Amino acid sequence: MNICQKEKCTGCSACENVCPKKCISMKDDEFGEPHPVIDEQQCVECNLCRKICPNNSSLAFFYPQKCYASWITDKTKRYNCASGGIGTALSEYIIEYKKGVVFGTRFDENWTPKTMYASTIEEVNAFKGSKYVQSIIANNTFKQIKKYLISGRYVMYIATPCQIAGLISYLNKDYDKLITVDLICHGVCPPSYFKAEINYLKQTHSFKDLTDIRFRYNGRYTFRLTLWNKKKILYKPNMYSQYYTCGYFMGVTMRENCYSCSYARPERISDITIGDFIGLGKKKSFKHMISNVSSVFINTSKGNEFYKELSECLDSKIVNVERCYEERLEYGPSLRYPFERHKLNSKFRDLYLEYGYVIAVRKTLKRIVVLDRIKQILNIWTYSYRIPRKLYRIIYAKFLNY
């Protein structure tokens, strides 16, 4: 029994959450991607899973009503955020002023990315920063959300667009106190890849006391996989000098459905969309800073009312500069079309079947990673020892053809 076309499945877990017999579970397929598996002996063929699947229904999309370049003014609070800290502002407002709960992604004690909820300001801190890996949604997550909504409590769900679609399909009705916030999504890698990479790094580098793993923050080593022990950084290779991030940013190791994503389009699935404001100030001047600024799209009337109320309440704690949506739309494929599949993806998948993730990604990307590491060394030499740029180009070109 197939719930939807496998190559279109996003792993949103709506089917698992809705099954009255609890006979659907998310399990990794031959490529390490979570997909629903049905226990056919327990299944009564009620077809709720098929009906609730976002791929089998037409959902409402909204062209943004407003677009803002936004950031929170507290630099300390913004430091561990991916860009302008708007996700943090939204979360704290729901908890502190609306007495609600926020569902977002955090790592558990085994560094598995999971969708969990926060009901205190302290718990929100674990949601900060982008996590370039698919979040695991438990089989009772959507049930929890529905329970909170029925009780009359505010709920904010911050997730990728496909996960938002899963919740909307599962609920099958609108709730006034549900605020959905989708992230501008490049795509995701399966959690099994991330887990395999972290375990490999811990073993090869003898990392024992990890307290944090970051991909994004407003510090020097952002857009990298960095490992931390409290405030001490243990691991900080360049984006393309590290196999996991190289595979992710090049489009080699993402989940299959990401290459044909139905949500990578100008119209949005949620009340509010947040992400980096790429291209800010390139064609139209911007008198403020252009780094560490979030783009905020207001997509629905409910989202507009909520964000207006939040902005008035926080006042001096948040800055919103209205911009034209087309300014942000022009930069970044994730708002116009899915990220392009890299030509090395097929090689990686073939090797994965034979060797598993750790060996497959290293065999696939060795040349690219090694060249980037050489480039970083040459950059240091050029800066430190003032090697002429012409000589630098000759040396790098020689390595390029090794």
Rg (Cα) of the chain, in Å, rounded? Answer: 22
The pLDDT score that the predictor gives to residue 399 is 57
Judged against a pLDDT cut of 60, whether residue 402 lies above it is answered with no
The two tokens of residue 390 are 């012409």
Amino acid at 368: I
Global confidence as pTM: 0.92
pLDDT digits (tens, 9 = 90+) for 245-273: 999 999 999 999 999 999 999 999 999 99
**Residue ranges per structural domain of the chain:** 6-56, 66-188+254-335, 192-253+343-400
Judged against a pLDDT cut of 70, whether residue 50 lies above it is answered with yes
pLDDT bin (cut points 50, 70, 90) of residue 389 is: low
- Which of 310, 298, 300, 107 is closest to 214 using CA atoms? 107
The two tokens of residue 239 are 């984006």
Across the chain, mean pLDDT equals 93
The pLDDT score that the predictor gives to residue 378 is 73
Q: Would you report the helix, strand and coil content of the chain in percent, each value rounded to 5?
A: 40, 20, 40
Judged against a pLDDT cut of 60, whether residue 396 lies above it is answered with no
Q: What is the DSSP string of 40-85?
A: TTT-----HHHHH-GGGS----B--SEEEEEEES-HHHHTTSSSS-
Tell me how far apart the alpha carbons of residues 133 and 144 are, in angstroms, rounded to a whole number. 23
pLDDT digits (tens, 9 = 90+) for 187-235: 999 999 999 999 999 999 999 889 999 999 888 888 999 999 999 999 9
The two tokens of residue 214 are 């970051």
CATH architecture for segment(s) 6-56: 2-Layer Sandwich (3.30)
Amino acid at 33: E
Is residue 90 within 8 A of residue 158, CB to CB? The reply is: yes
The pLDDT score that the predictor gives to residue 400 is 55
Is residue 14 within 8 A of residue 141, CB to CB? The reply is: no
